[in-house]
Amino acid sequence: MLAKSLVIFIAIGVVSGFAYGVYLMDFKSTHQLVYVDDPSISLVTEKFDFKKGEEIKIRIVNSGTTPITFSDTSYGLRITGLSGILMYSPTSVQVVSTLEPGDEIEFSWDQIKNDGDVALEGLYKISAKGLDDKGDQVEKSTTVTIWK
């Protein structure tokens, strides 16, 4: 027969482990796509953690109620290291592009940097920047992790 204190400690451990797991699940599942009544863009990736060499699909969504204008066909997409050094931006044409409310555009990154080198393991910031109908800047960013 187990000691009463051992049973109590095991029960507390199970309950606290479950509570911590629920907390981490809520913390990690940040919602990337949230629709609002103001100018807004959202960056959506299928997950946050990618294997090295795996293609990363990025959706830029106008999640607001006004059109968002971009200065070129890259839709302001930039992938940087956390230090801010530019790693990748898609090839683009200097043509004004617009995303109407609810519209989206998809890009994919094969983890090859602009200089042709393969991206190393680590955290990368994906951001997009545009202008609303009043000329105010609208920007959104998210981070992804590349693992070995």
Model confidence pLDDT, tens digit, residues 54-103: 999 999 999 999 999 999 999 999 999 988 999 999 999 999 999 999 99
Q: How far apart are CA 85 and CA 88, in angstroms?
A: 9
Q: How far apart are CA 1 and CA 89, in angstroms?
A: 65
How high is the pLDDT of residue 25?
58
How high is the pLDDT of residue 34?
82
pLDDT in tens, 40-54: 999 999 999 999 999
Is the pLDDT at 22 greater than 80, yes or no? Answer: no
- For residue 112, the cross-strand partners are 118
Whose CA is closest to 61, among 34, 92, 82, 84? 34
CB count, 10 Å around CB of 48? 14
How high is the pLDDT of residue 24?
59
Is the pLDDT at 38 greater than 60, yes or no? Answer: yes
Q: What confidence category does residue 107 fall into, taking pLDDT thresholds of 50, 70 and 90?
A: very high
How high is the pLDDT of residue 6?
84
Q: What are the tokens at 129?
A: 């920047």
Minimum mean pLDDT among 6-20, 28-42, 115-129: which range? 28-42
Minimum mean pLDDT among 22-31, 35-44, 116-125: which range? 22-31
Please report, for residues 22, 30, 38, 65, the alpha-carbon distance to residue 26 in angstroms, rounded to integers and kept in the order given.
6, 7, 26, 28
Is the pLDDT at 26 greater than 60, yes or no? Answer: no
How high is the pLDDT of residue 29?
46
The answer to whether the beta carbons of residues 43 and 78 sit under 8 Å apart is no
Is-above-0.75 flag for pTM? yes
